[in-house]
Amino acid sequence: MVYNLTPMGNTTGLLAFVQLVNSELMFDLFGILILIVACSIAFITFLISTNDTGKSLTTTAYLGVGFAILLRTISLIPDLAFFIIVIIFAGTLAILWKR
């Protein structure tokens, strides 16, 4: 596969460069992968510290929503990924509420 790297030299800042990498090289998966990795690290960290899966999932989803808002603001994740993380947060909050 051949990548056209010509537009990479014309970026005006870090944000423009990251958005270009997301759209041209990663086929709009760069932001989603960043979100998945950040949430996975947060979940493992909270699970180790609390030993409670429900609280760890809810806290991770809450932080994931905050991080997704940031990534959506700079156009690194699509609307669908943002709505999915909000639905996951609502689901984990409902599960924690039932306990």
pTM over 0.95: no
Q: Using alpha carbons only, give the angle 96, 98, 99 rounded to the nearest 5 degrees.
A: 70
How would you class 85 by CB atoms within 10 Å of its CB: exposed for 0-12, middle for 13-18, buried for 19 or more?
buried
Q: In this predicted structure, what is the pLDDT of residue 27?
A: 87
Pick the closest to residue 67 from 97, 39, 26 (CA basis).
39
Q: What residue ranges of the chain have pLDDT lower than 70?
A: 1
Q: Where are the domains of the chain?
A: 27-98
Q: In this predicted structure, what is the pLDDT of residue 33?
A: 96
How would you class 5 by CB atoms within 10 Å of its CB: exposed for 0-12, middle for 13-18, buried for 19 or more?
exposed
